[in-house]
Structure 1
Amino acid sequence: MIRFFLKTMVTAVAVLIASYVLDGVSVDSTLTAILVAIVLGLLNSFIKPILIILTIPITIVTLGLFLLVINVLIVKWASEIVPNFTVNGWWSALLFSIIVSVVTSIIDGLTKSQYE
């Protein structure tokens, strides 16, 4: 339970950083960022694996680049679900997903030994 909480907080910080860096992404408050982190976690846990399995042929043909499209879809769905979180356009969603992934990886790497 503590690990889930910490992972959610790390993702929320990454969401705030990405919204600060990108013009096309808007997060109104810290609570909204936490909700975005929870929704992204749920979508990535339950919906993304199904989409990956269903799109295996396209993913193979595009040498894995179609996974970026799936990431964009997940971010856009999260923006539809969470109020006060907006993502304008596909490029903003793509850059948002990349920034959140990179920032989350960096923070996880820096704090990994502390919460394991």
Structure 2
Amino acid sequence: MRSFIVRVLINGLALWIASWILPGLDISTSATTEAVATTGVTQGTETIGVVLAYLFIGLIFGVVNAFVRPLVSFLSLPITILTLGLFTIVINAAMLYLTSWLSSYTPVNFSIDSFFWTAVLAAIIITLISLVAGRLTGAGRR
């Protein structure tokens, strides 16, 4: 259970850094703007809302990577072998698009612009950050 929570935190951090670097990634919440409009509190409510939004999208991304990605990786094994593993980046980008689609049904909306390269660059950034953070925290060990 502890490693799952650490993985969600790492996913949230990686998504935040990727959206900070790439202008085509955006996470928006309808609940944050409604809370600010009704209470008039901007700083604390908005910050907590953004942090929770990234953690929520990190949770969705973790579930997608846990359940969908192994099946897609297995089915695309021949093309992954032909490209010497580079097709894995395309699979990661597809998992980001799937996360974006799933989040459209929630109050937290994770959007990727229409360019495929934004998702590919985001997948590379998220993979590198997850790799480093996983090594530092020991979450990648089993």
Q: d(CA) in 1 for partners of 2:98 and 2:21?
A: 21
Q: Specify the alignment match of 2:34 in structure 1.
A: none
Q: Specify the alignment match of 1:34 in structure 2.
A: 55
Q: d(CA) in 2 for partners of 1:98 and 1:22?
A: 12
How many residues align structurally? 114
Q: Specify the alignment match of 1:76 in structure 2.
A: 97
Identity, in percent, stands at 32
- Aligned residue identity for 2:53: T
Q: How far apart are 1:80 and its partner, in Å? A: 0.9
Q: d(CA) in 2 for partners of 1:103 and 1:57?
A: 27
Matches within 5 A, 1:7-18: 7-18=7-18
Note if contact 2:80-2:86 (Cα within 8 Å) is conserved in structure 1.
Answer: yes
- Aligned residue identity for 1:21: I
Asked which structure has the greater CA Rg, the reply is: 2
Q: Specify the alignment match of 1:110 in structure 2.
A: 136
Matches within 5 A, 1:26-105: 26-28=26-28, 29-82=50-103, 83-88=108-113, 89-105=115-131
Q: d(CA) in 2 for partners of 1:58 and 1:41?
A: 24
User: Normalized against structure 2, the TM-score is what?
Assistant: 0.72
Q: d(CA) in 1 for partners of 2:66 and 2:56?
A: 15
User: Normalized against structure 1, the TM-score is what?
Assistant: 0.86
- Aligned residue identity for 2:98: W
For the aligned residue pairs, the C-alpha RMSD in angstroms reads 1.9
Pair 59,110 (structure 1): closer, same or farther in 2 beyond 3 Å: closer
| Structure 1: gaps (5+ residues) | none
Runs of 4 or more, structure 1, over 6 Å off, are: none
| Structure 2: gaps (5+ residues) | 29-49
